[in-house]
């Protein structure tokens, strides 16, 4: 498997979650309410899987390795755009957390913000994924030899091995700060 193959497999799971978010958005429109636990679970998925695990591999390994290459202006610009996309995803997720906290504390007007941020994420991810799968990953692959690509794939697997520990260390540290 090529390194980008693992990233594309992760994209398929993110797309499945987006489908669930879209279904929930339809329920919100009908019922004018949301389950805060669903929002918590969605945030956990976005933060841990989509951002930390998936974007982490891209930023900490793929983009880092590409920085060592002589990228075309177009490829460099696209990589910068993808990094900006990741930042937008993080900011949107933070807004979703804040709105869900307000909603959980009785502010029913926060539902509009929850819905808006869920919709932004459900609109954002398919376009972002398509940009990576169809444009950036094929372009980026040209910069690496087969050996470099396989080393990157190995680095991706090592990155994943550490994720469960990173997640639960942060959970314990958050509780310790309370």
pLDDT at 152: 97
pLDDT at 125: 96
Tokens, residue 25: 């958005």
The answer to whether residue 168 scores a pLDDT higher than 90 is no
144: CATH? 1.20.120.520
Confidence of residue 138 (pLDDT cuts 50, 70, 90): very high
- The reported pTM is 0.91
CA distances from 56 to 30, 47, 63, 111 (A): 36, 10, 10, 30
pLDDT at 14: 96
The answer to whether residue 169 scores a pLDDT higher than 90 is no
State how many domains the chain has. Answer: 1
- Range(s) of the domain holding residue 50: 3-177
The answer to whether residue 171 scores a pLDDT higher than 90 is no
Among 135, 154, 128, residue whose Cα is nearest residue 61: 154
Alpha carbon distance 113, 91 (integer Å): 13
Taking only the tens place, the pLDDT of each residue in 111-134 is 999 999 999 999 999 999 999 999
Tokens, residue 8: 């594309």
Mean pLDDT of the chain: 95
Alpha carbon distance 156, 150 (integer Å): 10
């Amino acid at each position: 498997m090529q390194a980008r193959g693992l990233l594309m497999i992760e994209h398929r799971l993110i797309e499945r979650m987006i489908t669930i978010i879209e279904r929930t958005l339809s329920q919100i429109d009908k019922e004018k309410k949301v389950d805060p636990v669903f929002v918590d679970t969605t945030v956990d998925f976005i933060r841990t899987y989509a951002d930390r695990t998936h974007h982490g591999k891209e930023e900490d390994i793929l983009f880092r390795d590409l920085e060592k290459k002589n990228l075309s202006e177009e490829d460099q610009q696209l990589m910068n755009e993808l990094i900006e996309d990741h930042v937008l995803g993080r900011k949107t997720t933070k807004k979703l957390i804040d709105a869900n906290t307000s909603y959980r504390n009785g502010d029913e007007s926060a539902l509009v913000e929850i819905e808006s941020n869920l919709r932004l994420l459900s609109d954002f991810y398919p376009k972002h994924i398509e940009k990576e799968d169809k444009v950036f990953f094929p372009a980026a692959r040209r910069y690496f030899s087969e050996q470099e690509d396989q080393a990157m794939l190995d680095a991706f697997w090592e990155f994943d091995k550490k994720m469960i520990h990173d997640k639960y260390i942060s959970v314990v540290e958050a509780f310790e700060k309370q």
